[in-house]
Structure 1
Amino acid sequence: NGGKLVAVRDHGGAPGTVIEARSLFFNVPARRKFLRTENTEFAHVEQQLRLHAIANPQVAFTLTHNGELVLHLPATRDMLERIRGLVGDELASRLLKVEETTVHGVTVSGYIGGPGMSRSNRQMQTTYLNGRPIESASISYGLREGYHTALMKGQYPVTFLFIQMDAQAFDVNVHPAKKEVRFHDGNSVRDAISRSVSHTLENAAKLPTGHAPARAVPAIPAAARVPLVPDSRQEQFAMPVAASSAPLRNIAPSPASTSQSQPAVSHRVADVLERIAAGRSTPAIQPQAPEAATPQETQEEEETQAPAKAQPAEPPEYRIIGVLQKLYVLMEGKEGLVLMDQHAAHERVNFEKFRRAIESGGVPCQRLLLPVTLQTTPRDADLLKQNLPSLNRLGIEIEPFGPNIFKVETLPAFLKTDDPAAWLDQVIEELSSLSTKSSSLRLSEDAIATIACRASVKSNDVLSIPEMQALLKDLFACEMPYCCPHGRPTLVQISTSELERKFGRRAPG
């Protein structure tokens, strides 16, 4: 009573017993004076109820405000049904299930948003540790690393993650409200979340949709397949290719171009990276004509580069209708209308091709006219020494030059910067946020994404039908085909049912 303990005794409460708390601030008027407006305080109450409702789907929750029913959540055994009752059917249908996995003693499960699904704040980023809603920098880093190129900068993912681990491995006495926790081994938690999220995104089979959820398109036997564009309509879309458009893979050159004089081997960064990814050495001194790779040769090269990976699935059967604004390829699929951003799609294809170049044989480097010396802290010095092999693969030739001093001789050839020292400081900062040494390959992916963007077809480049088909095939051969390296969607689907509702052929709902 008023903060004083009056008595402690047993009481038999049958199911349905109501516990009421009122006049919370009768003896602390000063605290009541500093409360926010009624709407703000009610929003805090509603947020807490939502957090606990997701963690306990087997419990029914009812929220009323001023006599009006705000939320009514019946008990359920299905976590997705509870989430659907809170966020709506449209958002819940676009979530991807994270299968329960255990890494380093950390078990991760739940639901996350697919590629291209994000928010401008962390309001929809919810994580639970042993059933308690918490916040942690290690979890945020793990989510960022797991999404990586599937998330735009400045955006935050939609997550409903549940983490289970030994209670002795973390400390909850960090924040008075027990919201923040401190892990004894934050790197293990970060690595477990990163692996679970990246594995779920790589196996995603859902198209980003404009309105309605998309379903995976079933595989069609080879004998029953029809061409993407009927022969009778090929002439209708036989558009000339602009001179500025970048050629796509698997497109055979015309006889006229083959009979022309043989050009010299290109030394552009994109071409050098492509030769490295194909397992070729440095270009020969004598100029020779680049041979167009046949589909069989390309498949053999991909098998040589990644023998452990399964063969990519056949792309869904889409019929190309046309091109909108010289950027969006309109296609008809079994589920409705599909739009492909030709720039974002080609950007994803080039990005993964360049990234394989880094993982296979390193990247070309350029020697600095004057070596750059870095004065670091003892902690950063240890970090650099641990990652010297990875940095060398990235084209950064760095070696100790004294106590906590390093000398940099070379930088990646595709790097364009006027201040190498500032860029190297950013590299050290990113190194400190990585959880494993293997993740240091991602240090150069921002630069690779820039190169891929410049080497891709643009919005005003006109592609022929075979080039569109080749781009679509290459896109579905990527590890993450539904978003570009900057997190923007490459494909968007508008279902037939949504189109019927728009035209009044089907009642909403």
Structure 2
Amino acid sequence: MAITLLSETLINQIAAGEVIERPASAAKELIENALDAGATRIEIATAGGGKTLLRVVDNGCGMGPEDLALAVRRHCTSKLDGGLFDIRTLGFRGEALPSIGSVARLTIASRPAGSDHGAEISVHGGVVQAVRPTPANHGTVVEVRDLFFATPARLKFMKTERAEAAAISEVVRRMAIAFPGVRFLLSGPDRTTLEFPATGDDRLARIAQVLGRDFRDNAIEINAERDEVRLTGFAGVPTFNRGNSLHQYVFVNGRPVQDKLIFSALRGAYAETIPHGRYPVAVLSITIDPALVDVNVHPAKSDVRFRDPGLVRGLLVGAIRQALAADGDRSSTLGARGLVNAFRPEASAPTSGSGFASAARSSGGYGGQTGYGQAPSAPWAAERSPYRPLETGGLGFGEAAQAAFGSFAPAARMAPEPSASQPMAPETARPEHPLGAARAQLHENYIVAQTDDGLVIVDQHAAHERLVYENLRKGLSTKALPAQALLIPDIVDLAEDDCDRLMVHAEELSRLGLTIERFGPGAVAVRETPAMLGEIDAAGLIRQLADELAEWDTANGLAGRLEALAATMACHGSVRSGRRLRPEEMNALLRQMEATPGSGQCNHGRPTYIEIKLADIERLFGRS
């Protein structure tokens, strides 16, 4: 079979299969070109979901006749002055325009600053026409009609016009967040418009335009740097979450990316704070030396590869957790707003998927599995445990557990319950006490506290469960865990590379109660397992850790299983719903919550308290 040279048109059509997957891909490439040209105003018009018409108008630097002729030729670009290892623009491959022109009817009209007239060039199905003069404003107008008319088989794989239009809208939203100083205007055939006015350096204002005011009210600023990698942006409080990951926006050097390493780190940062099946809302920007990140992984440029992925993951997890610990304990404004709306006379009955109710149901209740890893084979019960971790001694958690319980000892050791008519303590709300002073207990489960500017309703079981859990976690991180020796060591056959990686982390695993030794070139011997886990599948645990080390170079799976068990212990060991508390106990719980990071949500991600402002209460009664 003879080898032949493909035609230029066929080469461009092959490239279009990678670069231009759908109308949204073409829109992304054209918007990136406008941004690289220094545009401050970009207007996008579509028809037929972008398949019939896609027009992008910008006020950038523009192009002259000579540049127009090169722009539609393959591998011609003005954005690689520093080579592939110093890419500082959004586009750089020089494939977008010729690829679009090979499968559509492409027309580009442009006029550079200082020129008296513009120029225009057309490419129809890969056939390039001559450059001709045309009247034009400063900037560039790129018009794409009949996308994929030259490759009709591709049209069969397109979705509905509504779906394709929604994908273009999502591209515009991501670009708008990344460039707050640029005005974006998207218009459709039904005269609907999506406009994002420029906000200058106020990135949070632009994010509020895209994600809504609710995010602005529930966002925590992130600003951290490690080894010349800087992370900035905003992350939502844990109780402000969504049912999918579409509200997670990540940018690397201004480029919107969809990177599994980053999204995995985001999940890890919110571990044990968000219910299963719910996702945090975040807008994060990573600034890194271009030489330390490869953006040339895929022609779509949505995937990136970091030279040191562990550094980036550690920075993300550490910075977000530190920010949540410092300012993430406040409740979401959506909960209070939903509660206030429920009191309004015109409020309709709540739907099954609204507010925190759906979040609680999706978490699987208090008995739901938390974290990652496997739950213990049998439910933990204090009366059956031979180690008594919640009492003095035990697994080394005695002091931590006692500190967590504080005045909330188990009910059997409590003094007689007060009568319902017992007056509350005269404690008053103080500025240094954000959760205020307890005023009442409703249905033996909800504590009502008065603050300086409103009131707080606390779920006593969920709140105390979090306090116990945080103290148990502290015990896990500060003390070596007891181990139980195996009568016969468990020999696990693994690849030699997996064995090498496991032995590098052998000391860390030993502190968690898992003792392993090398057993020949392709096996490890498990001699001790964590006593806290009881009887476990040691071979399965080792293989899980080996897979985790191969992918992320971390052995957090064992720690995750221990934390999941600690969460179960905290749930069973905390003050129960239906138990009447004394006034001093309620106030003690509030003070412990104020001093404990993460106390704004329980181990299952549900809120532990809801705050209602006095102004909202006054509006309910028409006083404001």
> Taking structure 1 as the reference length, what is the TM-score of the superposition?
0.75
- Mapped to 2, the partners of 1:147 and 1:170 lie a distance apart of 25
Q: Give the match for residue 181 of structure 2.
A: 58
Distance 1:435 1:383, change over 3 A: closer
Q: Which letter maps to 1:40? A: A
Q: Is the 8 A contact 1:358 1:393 kept in 2?
A: no
199, 205, 214: which one aligns with 1:81: 205
Q: Give the match for residue 578 of structure 2.
A: 460
Q: Which letter maps to 2:222? A: V
Percent of pairs identical after alignment?
35
- Mapped to 2, the partners of 1:269 and 1:103 lie a distance apart of 38
**Cα deviation per residue 1:189-248 (whole Å; 9 max; x = unaligned)?**
11121122112112116611353789xxxxxxxxxxxxxxxxxxxxxxxxxxxxxxxxxx
Q: CA deviation at 1:92?
A: 2.0
- Mapped to 2, the partners of 1:482 and 1:46 lie a distance apart of 34
Q: Give the match for residue 401 of structure 1.
A: 519
Q: Give the match for residue 99 of structure 2.
A: none
- Mapped to 1, the partners of 2:387 and 2:611 lie a distance apart of 39
**Cα deviation per residue 1:14-61 (whole Å; 9 max; x = unaligned)?**
557654433334433333343211111110111011011111110111
Q: Give the match for residue 390 of structure 2.
A: 270
171, 174, 184: which one aligns with 2:297: 174
2:214 is the counterpart of 1:90 = yes
4+ aligned runs moved over 6 Å, structure 1:
8-13, 290-295, 437-440
Q: Is the 8 A contact 2:238 2:605 kept in 1?
A: yes
> Taking structure 2 as the reference length, what is the TM-score of the superposition?
0.62
Worse-superposed segment, 118-127 or 374-383? 374-383
310, 323, 330: which one aligns with 1:200: 323
- Mapped to 2, the partners of 1:323 and 1:434 lie a distance apart of 47
Aligned length: 428
Which gives a bigger RCO, structure 1 or 2 (Cα 8 Å, sep 6+)? 1
- Mapped to 2, the partners of 1:191 and 1:393 lie a distance apart of 21
Q: Is the 8 A contact 2:331 2:600 kept in 1?
A: yes
- Mapped to 1, the partners of 2:243 and 2:550 lie a distance apart of 25
Secondary structure in 2 matching 1:83: helix
Q: Give the match for residue 226 of structure 2.
A: 103
Q: Which letter maps to 1:92? A: R
Secondary structure in 2 matching 1:402: coil
- Mapped to 1, the partners of 2:555 and 2:198 lie a distance apart of 45
Q: Give the match for residue 131 of structure 1.
A: 254
- Mapped to 2, the partners of 1:61 and 1:24 lie a distance apart of 23
Q: Is the 8 A contact 2:395 2:481 kept in 1?
A: no
**Cα deviation per residue 1:104-147 (whole Å; 9 max; x = unaligned)?**
33211011111222222210111001111101121122212322
Distance 1:12 1:408, change over 3 A: farther
Q: Is the 8 A contact 1:170 1:184 kept in 2?
A: yes
Q: Give the match for residue 299 of structure 1.
A: none
- Structure 1: 5+ residue stretches without partners: 215-265, 281-289, 296-312
Secondary structure in 2 matching 1:116: coil
- Mapped to 2, the partners of 1:275 and 1:443 lie a distance apart of 16
Secondary structure in 1 matching 2:519: strand
Q: CA deviation at 1:8?
A: 6.2
Q: Give the match for residue 115 of structure 1.
A: 238
- Mapped to 1, the partners of 2:440 and 2:257 lie a distance apart of 49
- Mapped to 2, the partners of 1:292 and 1:28 lie a distance apart of 67
Q: Give the match for residue 320 of structure 1.
A: 438
- Mapped to 2, the partners of 1:345 and 1:317 lie a distance apart of 12
- Mapped to 2, the partners of 1:365 and 1:11 lie a distance apart of 80
488, 491, 515: which one aligns with 1:373: 491
RMSD (Å), alpha carbons: 3.3
- Mapped to 2, the partners of 1:479 and 1:11 lie a distance apart of 64
Q: Is the 8 A contact 2:391 2:398 kept in 1?
A: no
Secondary structure in 2 matching 1:208: coil
Q: Which letter maps to 1:269? A: P
2:452 is the counterpart of 1:334 = yes
Q: Is the 8 A contact 1:174 1:181 kept in 2?
A: yes
Q: Which letter maps to 1:53? A: A
Worse-superposed segment, 415-424 or 404-413? 415-424
- Mapped to 1, the partners of 2:198 and 2:303 lie a distance apart of 28
Worse-superposed segment, 45-54 or 28-37? 28-37
